[in-house]
Amino acid sequence: MRPHDRSARRARVKLFTAHTEEFMAPNVKARQLIDSGEVGRPVLATDTWYKAFALHTRPAWFLDREKGGGMWLMNGAHMVDRLTYILNSPVGTVKAFVGTRYNDIRADDAALAFLQLTNGVPCSIAHTGYRDHPGAGVEQSGGSWRWLH
């Protein structure tokens, strides 16, 4: 039992961490396939998430790390959750870069992490909230990425 679970039980309140990835059908199926041995033993895993930052649609707090903003806090937890859920193992060690590379904001818009799960599977996470205006330097076409300039 996790420490926050014990605290919730002592306080007689229900606690749910919104790890939505554990309820998504593709992730449930992936874990079932791995757990059953049907696809063999995982050797390594990677999770990538590239998307437009959509700066103009974000609330002010999201553009400031001190107020809880940034791409890593919004999506990074889901990426870690997805990997640890599918591979059925907690994280043992982490090395990471989380910072601002694309947008002029006080929150992060890029992350690269290496996780070593306790079951020995190495995992990488790459996450970017790129500038999404004409000439931004990133263009998505036909399911592949093309870097301009």
Whole-number Cα distances in Å, 77 to 74, 87, 113: 7, 15, 12
In this prediction, residue 50 has a pLDDT band, given cuts at 50, 70 and 90, of confident
Sign of CA dihedral 3, 5, 91, 76: negative
**Above 80 in pLDDT, residue 136?**
no
**Above 90 in pLDDT, residue 147?**
no
Residue pLDDT, tens place only, 72-129: 988 898 999 999 999 999 999 999 999 999 889 999 999 999 999 999 999 999 998 8
Strand order in the sheet with 45-52: 45-52, 122-130, 110-117, 91-99
Residue pLDDT, tens place only, 5-46: 788 889 998 877 778 899 999 999 999 999 999 999 999 999
In this predicted structure, what is the pLDDT of residue 141? 42
In this prediction, residue 142 has a pLDDT band, given cuts at 50, 70 and 90, of very low
In this predicted structure, what is the pLDDT of residue 1? 59
Domains of the chain as residue ranges with CATH: 44-139 (3.30.360.10)
Q: Give the Cα separation of 149 and 131 in Å (integer).
A: 14
78 sits in which H/E element: helix 77-86
